[in-house]
């Protein structure tokens, strides 16, 4: 099983998600909206990368602009040691 990593950039067409945080001191919930990341890196097998990309596009509503192979061997080795066989989505901005 070969682990790979690709970087994806999306068109800025405005996908948002609602985030909820709990403030234990004030004992209340805080709701806010956050924009989906328009630049992500996905680490995993080719099948995991393809599935994670499809899911991300479906959920966020964003359209893919550019895709690049990520070839930093030291960082790939670090990802492989930490995350083993799990697909990993990293927000870049």
pTM comes to 0.73
pLDDT value at position 50?
Answer: 92
**pLDDT digits over 12-53, tens only?**
776 655 556 666 666 666 666 677 788 999 998 889 999 999
Element (H, E) at 86: none
Q: Within 10 Å of residue 62's Cβ, how many Cβ atoms?
A: 22
The two three-digit tokens of residue 56, written as one number? 């991300």
pLDDT value at position 8?
Answer: 93
Q: Does residue 35 contact residue 2 with C-beta atoms inside 8 Å?
A: no
DSSP secondary structure letters along 38-68? SEEEEEE-HHHHHHHHHHHHHHH---EEEEE
- Domain count for the chain, please give it: 1
pLDDT value at position 29?
Answer: 67
pLDDT value at position 80?
Answer: 82
The two three-digit tokens of residue 21, written as one number? 């945080």
> Could you tell me the residue range of the domain that residue 85 belongs to?
4-91
Least confident of 18-27, 29-38, 71-80, 83-92: 18-27
């Amino acid at each position: 099983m070969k682990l790979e990593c690709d970087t994806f950039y999306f068109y800025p067409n405005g996908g948002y998600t609602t985030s909820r945080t709990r403030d234990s001191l004030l004992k209340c919930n805080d709701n806010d909206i956050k924009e989906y990341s328009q630049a992500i890196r996905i680490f995993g097998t080719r099948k995991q990368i393809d599935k994670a990309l499809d899911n991300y596009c479906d959920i966020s509503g964003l359209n893919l602009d550019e895709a690049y192979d990520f070839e930093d061997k030291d960082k790939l080795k670090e990802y492989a040691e930490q995350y083993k066989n799990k697909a990993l989505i990293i927000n870049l901005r």
